[in-house]
């Protein structure tokens, strides 16, 4: 697999560690399989600065937001961009009729399929792997795979945006908005620019760069970014805040107005007008 795809395996390793805790926030029985040995080696190389608790929080936040969006909106097509070693298709309680599309590079999807080939597919749901390069056209292959742009969709952009240059981030989020029928939802995460320059994380950032996975993008104003790209922001949470803590975040949360603070943000967005329609 390409170097950047390996990040999916150290994320899976962190999910495996959370799964094996007695007080686990979620259970991912497939995480250790897809992490493989390389995932735990990379996790040990990158660990520090709250990486493991953050990944537990991010997974939990998105797990719950995904389930809520599907149940409350009746969405039946879910698209994971840069799906990596995500196993939510297997482990979340999907309603009947849901189709989960997983977009990622061909080599990663092939490796993942091999690792999970003996796992039975849960009934009542469908999974479609769509091999693409997200820096190229991917909406065409997604439509060919069965996705219907005229129906509501749940987009999930987890652990991706900080690997892209700013223009690519804006193009991607805007593309998601342009292809989101009314009632669609966007879930994901992004970091602050200060997180890229954090001196306490220098060894981590250096290791990522050496391994071909540099982090490139951050923003202090995720609400403005998402709104500029066509989304109505429902919420943005930092780890440790209400709704994004779950008893895992070990650090105090600095007020948003405090400058030059490394931050991570978890967000939920709607198509414009949805909140107003509900209020009416």
**β-bridge pairing 125-131 and 154-157:** unpaired
User: Structure tokens of 121?
Assistant: 């597919």
**Residues 6 or more apart from 196 whose CB is under 8 A from it?**
162, 205, 215, 216, 217, 218
Task: Give dist(CA 43, CA 156) in Å, integer.
Answer: 23
Environment class of residue 231 by beta-carbon count within 10 Å: exposed (0-12), middle (13-18) or buried (19+)? Answer: buried
Task: Give dist(CA 91, CA 122) in Å, integer.
Answer: 9
In the prediction, which pLDDT does 275 show? 52
Helix (H) or strand (E) holding 267: strand 264-270
In the prediction, which pLDDT does 279 show? 40
What is the torsion angle, in degrees rounded to the nearest 10, for the CA atoms of residue 209, residue 86, residue 253 and residue 22? -120
User: Structure tokens of 101?
Assistant: 């599309």
Task: Give dist(CA 34, CA 123) in Å, integer.
Answer: 21
Contact 185, 159 (CB under 8 A): no
> Can you give the length of the chain in residues?
280
In the prediction, which pLDDT does 40 show? 94
In the prediction, which pLDDT does 135 show? 85
Q: Specify the pTM.
A: 0.95
Task: Give dist(CA 247, CA 94) in Å, integer.
Answer: 26
Task: Centre a 10 Å sphere on the Cβ of residue 237 and count the other Cβ atoms it contains.
Answer: 19
In the prediction, which pLDDT does 280 show? 38
Instruction: Reduce the DSSP state of residue 264 to 3 states and report it.
Output: strand
Give me the tens of pLDDT residue by residue for the chain, a chain 280 residues long: 565 567 899 999 999 999 999 999 999 999 999 999 999 999 999 887 689 999 999 999 999 999 999 999 999 999 999 999 999 999 999 999 999 999 999 999 999 999 999 999 999 999 999 999 998 899 999 999 999 999 999 999 999 999 999 999 999 999 999 999 999 999 999 999 999 999 888 898 999 999 888 999 999 999 999 999 999 999 999 999 999 999 999 999 999 999 999 999 999 999 998 654 444 3
Instruction: Reduce the DSSP state of residue 187 to 3 states and report it.
Output: strand
In the prediction, which pLDDT does 277 show? 46
* Strand-pair partners of 247: none
Task: Give dist(CA 234, CA 190) in Å, integer.
Answer: 15
| Orientation angle between helical segments 51-73 and 31-46, nearest 10 degrees | 140
Instruction: Reduce the DSSP state of residue 237 to 3 states and report it.
Output: strand
């Amino acid at each position: 697999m390409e170097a950047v795809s390996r990040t999916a395996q150290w994320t899976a390793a962190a999910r495996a560690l959370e799964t094996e805790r007695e007080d686990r926030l979620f259970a991912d029985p497939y995480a250790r399989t897809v992490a493989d040995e390389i995932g735990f080696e990379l996790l040990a190389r990158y660990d520090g600065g709250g990486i493991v608790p953050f990944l537990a929080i991010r997974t939990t936040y998105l797990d719950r937001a995904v389930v809520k969006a599907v149940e409350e909106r009746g969405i039946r097509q879910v698209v994971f961009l840069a799906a990596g070693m995500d196993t939510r298709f297997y482990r979340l309680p999907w309603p009947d009729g849901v189709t989960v599309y997983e977009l990622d590079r061909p080599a990663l999807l092939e490796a993942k399929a091999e690792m999970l080939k003996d796992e039975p597919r849960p009934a009542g749901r469908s999974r479609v792997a769509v091999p693409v390069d997200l820096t190229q056209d991917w909406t065409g292959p997604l439509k060919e795979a069965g996705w219907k742009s005229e129906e509501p969709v749940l987009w999930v952009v987890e652990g991706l945006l900080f690997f892209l240059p700013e223009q690519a981030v804006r193009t991607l989020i805007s593309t998601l908005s342009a292809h989101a029928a009314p009632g669609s939802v966007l879930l994901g995460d992004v970091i602050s620019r200060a997180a890229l320059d954090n001196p306490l994380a220098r060894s981590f950032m250096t290791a990522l760069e050496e391994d071909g996975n540099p982090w490139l993008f951050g923003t202090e104003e995720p609400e403005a970014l998402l709104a500029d790209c066509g989304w109505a922001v429902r919420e943005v949470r930092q780890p440790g805040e209400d709704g994004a803590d779950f008893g895992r975040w070990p650090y105090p949360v600095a007020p948003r107005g405090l400058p030059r603070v490394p931050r991570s943000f978890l967000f939920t967005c709607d198509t414009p007008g949805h909140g107003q329609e509900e209020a009416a």
